Structure 1
Amino acid sequence: MKLVLATSNKGKVKEIQALCKDYEVIPYSELIDEFEIVEDANTFKDNALIKARAVYEALGDKNAIVMADDSGISVDILDGAPGIYSARYGGENANDKDNMNKLMGDIKAKGVESSPAHYTAAIALVSNNFEKSVHGWMYGRALSKARGDGGFGYDPMFIPDGYDKTLGELDDAIKKELSHRSKALSLARIILKTLQ
């Protein structure tokens, strides 16, 4: 079964391909030209659905199954920020490093070295005859200093509960087990199996 991903984020594509080895996983940008999708909803779930619907419509293929992910980190001491704004927290043209540096600076500005935080991943699946969404979470602490250079996004500043290393320091196999995205994908795979 072919799954079209409504993302061109290389980190997400690689992670989803690794977690969905029993499917042919293709970023939509390999099938059609990339286009801007306005994510203007208030929840991860609704933004994931916006992306999946937009790519499904643009593909014009009734047999396509499109998967979209919307995810981010929410930090308690910042009242849940950046939340749905995680990908653009550092500004409009910010990259992963800019976003992480802004978040670490905001935590530090509160006079603390770390704060309870959690990641949320919402995955939407859209096809000709259904729309479904699932969620996964990972809890831990967000730091005011980065450690390690593995992973992507905010990984070097997040320590999962039960560990003393950041996601930037942890082995990929451990990360895969803990990941909010892996938890959501395991639920998405259950839905996909019902389609085969």
Structure 2
Amino acid sequence: MKLVLATGNKGKVREIKALCEDHEVVPYSELIDEFEIIEDGDTFKENALIKARAVFKALNDEDVIVIADDSGISVDVLDGAPGIYSARYAGADANDKDNLYKLIEAIKEKGFDSSPAHYTAAIAIVTKDAEYSVHGWMYGTALTKAIGDGGFGYDPMFIPLGFDKTLGELDDEIKKKLSHRSKALALAKKIIKTL
């Protein structure tokens, strides 16, 4: 069964492909031209569903399962920011590094060297018959410096609970077990098996 990802983010595509090895996983951009999807929901779940619905409709193929992920980091000393705005925290045209360093500066501006934080991943699954959503979380500490060059996004500034290294330093196999996205995908896979 073909799983179509409603994302063009290479980091997310790589991570989801690795976690769903028993399925054919294709980013939607390999099937149709990429198009802008306005994510105007108030939660990760709403935005994931908006993306999955839009791609399912655009594909015009009832035999696919579309998976969309909306995820981000929430920092306690910033009252949960950047949250659903994680991907565009430093502006619409910002890249991962811009977002990372803006978040580091925002924590410093509050007078802290670190803060409790967590990642949230909401995964939406849309088929011709139904819609589903699941969540996964990873808790830890956000630092005011970037350490390590592995992973993507905010990984170099985040130390997961129970570890002393950032996600930018940790081995991919360890990250796979801890990841908010892998926890959400484990639940999503249970749903996909029933479809």
TM-score by structure 2 length? 1.00
Q: TM-score, normalised by structure 1?
A: 0.99
1:42-57 → structure 2 map (5 Å cutoff): 42-57=42-57
User: What's the counterpart of residue 133 of structure 2?
Assistant: 133
Partner of 1:147: 147
Q: Which amino acid aligns with 2:136?
A: G
Q: Give the structure 1 partner of residue 111 of structure 2.
A: 111
C-alpha distance after superposition, 1:108-156 (max 9, x if no partner): 1111110000000000000100100000000000001000000000000
Structure 1 residue 78 corresponds to structure 2 residue 81: no
Equivalent in the alignment of 1:96: 96
Q: How much has 1:92 moved relative to structure 2?
A: 1.3
Q: CA RMSD in A?
A: 0.3
- 2:171 corresponds in structure 1 to 171
Q: Give the equivalent residue in structure 2 for 1:161.
A: 161
Q: Deviations over 1:147-189 (max 9, x none)?
A: 0000000000000000000000000000000000000000000
Q: What is the CA distance between 1:2 and its match in structure 2?
A: 0.6
- Residue 39 of structure 2 aligns to which amino acid in structure 1? E
Identity %: 76
- Kindly report structure 1 stretches of 4+ aligned residues shifted beyond 4 Å: none
Residue 123 of structure 2 corresponds to residue 123 of structure 1: yes
Count of residues in correspondence between the two structures: 195
Unaligned runs of 5+ residues in structure 1 are none
Tell me by how many angstroms 1:22 deviates.
Answer: 0.3
The whole-number CA distance in structure 2 between the counterparts of 1:181 and 1:80 is: 19
**2:1 aligned with 1:10, yes or no?**
no
Shift of 1:106: 0.3
- Counterpart of 1:146, as a letter, is A
- Report what 1:68 is aligned to: 68
Matches of 1:111 and 1:169 in 2, distance apart? 25
Segments of structure 2 that go 5 or more residues without pairing to the other structure are none
Report the CA distance between 1:81 and its aligned residue: 0.0
Match of 1:193 in 2: 193
Quick one: distance in 2 between partners of 1:90 and 1:27?
25
